[in-house]
Structure 1
Amino acid sequence: MKKLVYILLSVLVLNSCSDFQKVMKSEDIALKYKTGEDLFNEGKYKKANRLFEQIVPKYRGKPQAEKLMYMHSMCFYKLEQYYLSSYRFEQFVNSYPNSEKAEEAAFLSAKSYYEESPIYSKDKEETVKAIEKIQLFVNSYPDSKYLSEANELVKELDFKLEKKAFEIAKQYNRIYDYKASIKSFNNFLLDFPGTTLREDALYYKFNSEYNLAVLSIKELKQERIAIALADYNALLKAFPNTKYLDEANDLKEQLEKEKTNESKS
Structure 2
Amino acid sequence: MRNLIIVVLIALFTSSCSEYQKLLKSNDYDLQYTRAMEYYEAGDYMRASTLFGGLISIFRGTERSEISHYIYADCLFRMRNYLMAAHHFRMFVQNYPTSDRAEDAQFMAAYCHYKLSPNPRLDQTDTYQALEGFQLFINLYPNSERVVEATQLMDELRDKLVYKAYLNAKLYFNLGTYMGNNYQSAVIAARNTLDDFPDTKHREELSFLILDAKYIQAVNSIEERMQERLRETIDEYYTFINEFPNSQYIRRAHRIFEETSSLLN
* Class of the TM-score when normalised by the shorter of the 2 chains: over 0.9
Verify: 1:17 aligned to 2:17, yes or no.
yes
Verify: 1:83 aligned to 2:83, yes or no.
yes
Cα distance in 2 for partners of 1:125, 1:142 equals 25
Letter in 2 for 1:79: M
Cα distance in 2 for partners of 1:97, 1:180 equals 46
Runs of 4+ in 1 over 6 A off after TM superposition: none
1:61: which partner in 2? 61
Letter in 2 for 1:18: S
1:28: which partner in 2? 28
Instruction: Calculate the aligned-residue CA RMSD, in Å.
Output: 1.6
Shift of 1:203: 0.8
2:158: which partner in 1? 158
Shift of 1:70: 1.3
Q: 1:249 aligns with which of 243, 248, 254?
A: 254
1:73: which partner in 2? 73
Letter in 2 for 1:82: Y
Letter in 1 for 2:216: N
SS state of the match for residue 56, structure 1? helix
Contact kept in structure 1, 2:107 and 2:133, CA below 8 Å: no
Q: What pairs with 1:102-113 in structure 2 (closer than 5 Å)?
A: 102-113=102-113
TM-score scaled by length of structure 1: 0.92
1:240: which partner in 2? 245
1:221: which partner in 2? 226
TM-score scaled by length of structure 2: 0.92
Q: 2:196 aligns with which of 191, 195, 200?
A: 191
2:97: which partner in 1? 97
- Identity of paired residues, percent? 33
Q: Which moved more, 1:225-234 or 1:98-107?
A: 98-107
Shift of 1:258: 2.1
1:121: which partner in 2? 121
Where in structure 2 are there 5+ consecutive unaligned residues?
177-181
SS state of the match for residue 7, structure 1? helix
Shift of 1:100: 2.1
Q: Which moved more, 1:115-124 or 1:11-20?
A: 115-124
Where in structure 1 are there 5+ consecutive unaligned residues?
none
Cα distance in 2 for partners of 1:97, 1:193 equals 36
Cα distance in 1 for partners of 2:10, 2:160 equals 48
Cα distance in 2 for partners of 1:88, 1:226 equals 57
Cα distance in 2 for partners of 1:97, 1:219 equals 65
